[in-house]
Amino acid sequence: MEKKQLKEMSVQEYLDKYMLSRKIEEAVNAAVRAKTPDPVLFISNHMKKAIPSVITKIKARQILDSRGIPTVEVDLYTNKGVFHASVPSGDPAGMYEAVELRDGDKGTYLGNSVTKAVKNINEKISEALIGRDPTQQYEIDQAMKDLDTTEKKGELGANAILAVSIAVCRAGAAEKEVPLYKHIADLAGKTNLILPVPAFTVLSGGKHAGNNLAIQEIMILPIGASKFEEALKMGSETFHHLKAVITEKHGAHGCNFGEDGGFAPNISSFKEALDLVEEAINRGGYNERIKIAIDVAATNFCMGTKYDLDFKAPNKSVQNFKSGKDMIDMYKELCADYPIVSIEDPFDREDWDHTKHFSSLGICQVVGGDLLMSNKKRIERAIDEFTCNALLLKVNQIGTVTEAIEVVKLAKDAQWAVVASHRCGETDDTFLADLSVGLSTCQIKAGAPCRGERLAKYNQLLRIEEELGDQAIYAGEDWRAAC
């Protein structure tokens, strides 16, 4: 049904189209048979189930993310309710990811406003989607892609399209009267629901912090927990033990935070950073149950074919360059000395050869983040060339829920692991948590166990685990499984 038709349809035409007179009579009779104490509420609920849900209105606005940078929020209305979504934002990683549309006016929010994306939703996307059934996720996502016409969603903006796609997904779940994660699982054709192992950021570096640490983050994985609730407790306790360790060694000023909520003491040595984390794990008594993961984000300090580990050091007189082979030797040593089980982006995004060689050693999980950018073509290439063995899924790098489901299936069919990931610029939207459970990614990376926009995802996983009850399964030791 077109938007114009909805506006021009008279009350009588609407009643006739949906046979409401008969359905109202049926609802009244049902209320009488049920001897309900509140017939008005009973009839209202009965009618909601009797009338198929359609999108009646879409309203978008500009809000701020966790970094104080504009992003997009959407309210999507159906005759069953209002469904909200807001999208994260990240530093653009290159030509292979979907386009985050920004205004570019340096006089407003330093060029970061998203009023063009908001306008595209309120006018073009809204016009195309009003009257559609929100349970038809694939068709709606395809309609938005067709409306955009560009390969990377540069006309409407991936931030505009994704916000609507997520809101549609929530509305579809409500229409089916199932939890969001169950609806996502249905869309993906999955029957098993797995609570993921969280990769908690505990130390921040790289471009996410103002210290001298080259690598972007060090994370802890509570794979030895028996359930997600216990994993969250282990992560939180270790985080606070780490605060005490850093305070003892570097003073209170060493406990400043990076963008993802990890501590950012002014250190530069990989080993010094890992020593801090290992001591915090041991203080909690979790030395056999918590493993370590690192996100190197090596593209940030790749200079040609060399890697400058001191790229953040002030007034440096000598550059600490390492070759690809030197980096491999360093990773091998670190994995031998510390309980490191996963390394993300160990080399530059275009350094396929060294990534492939390191992955072939089988030392740890090798995650493609900047390497893949959740781009289907790059994922296919990496699968064909055995470049890495895990996908970092950032939904806003693709732009729709449907495409996220497709690339996860692609990765799992190749027996890869999948890590559902947040972005540095986050909101309090919890969709990532439901997506991770619905697609059984078995791993989720949502930042530190502090800061509201990060904890929103972890707390939602607590609720999901509680709701699933005896059916809840925590990935735990099977964290790398292609579930």
As given in the structure block, the two tokens for residue 408 are: 């996860």
Q: List all residues 6 or more positions away from 326 whose beta carbon is below 8 Å from its beta carbon.
A: 307
C-beta of residue 160 within 8 angstroms of C-beta of residue 121: yes
The Cα 136–Cα 141 span in angstroms is 9
C-beta of residue 348 within 8 angstroms of C-beta of residue 371: no
Q: What is the pLDDT of residue 260?
A: 85
Q: What is the pLDDT of residue 318?
A: 59
As given in the structure block, the two tokens for residue 61 are: 């606005």
C-beta of residue 296 within 8 angstroms of C-beta of residue 345: yes
What Rg, from alpha-carbon coordinates, does the chain have? 24
H or E stretch covering 187:
helix 180-188
Residue found by looking up tokens 């929530």 in the block:
170
Which is catalytic among the residues 133, 148, 260, 348? Answer: 260
219 to 73, 139, 358: CA distances (angstroms): 29, 38, 20
Tens of pLDDT, residues 34-56:
888 888 888 777 767 767 789 99
Counting Cα atoms < 13 Å in the Cβ hemisphere of 197 gives: 29
Q: List all residues 6 or more positions away from 48 whose beta carbon is below 8 Å from its beta carbon.
A: 79, 80
Using 70 as the pLDDT threshold, list the residues of the chain that sit under it: 1-11, 14-15, 18, 47, 50, 92-94, 315-319, 482-483
CA 13, 19, 23, 25 torsion: positive or negative?
positive
Q: What is the pLDDT of residue 4?
A: 47
- For residue 90, the cross-strand partners are none
In this structure, the dihedral spanned by the alpha carbons of residues 90, 94, 100 and 105, taken in order and rounded to 10 degrees, is 100
Q: List all residues 6 or more positions away from 118 whose beta carbon is below 8 Å from its beta carbon.
A: 60, 61, 62, 72, 160
Closest CA to 55 of 172, 176, 177, 182: 172
- Catalytic, 48? Answer no
Counting Cα atoms < 13 Å in the Cβ hemisphere of 133 gives: 8
Strands (E), 254-295: 291-295
Closest CA to 441 of 171, 158, 138, 192: 192
As given in the structure block, the two tokens for residue 362 are: 């089988």
As given in the structure block, the two tokens for residue 267 are: 């250190």
**What is the per-residue burial (b if ≥16 Cβ within 10 Å, else e) of 130-149?**
bebbbbebeebbeebbebbe
Residue found by looking up tokens 């693709």 in the block:
398
Q: What is the pLDDT of residue 2?
A: 46
- Which stretches within 224-269 are classed as H helix? 228-250
Residue found by looking up tokens 């969280």 in the block:
198
Residue found by looking up tokens 């997904």 in the block:
169
Q: What angle do CA 141, 143, 147 make, to 5 degrees?
A: 120
C-beta of residue 355 within 8 angstroms of C-beta of residue 389: no
What is the pTM for the complete model shown? 0.90
H or E stretch covering 14:
helix 11-17
- Catalytic, 306? Answer no
Q: What is the pLDDT of residue 15?
A: 67
Which is catalytic among the residues 394, 412, 445, 457? Answer: 394
Tens of pLDDT, residues 227-244:
999 999 999 999 999 999
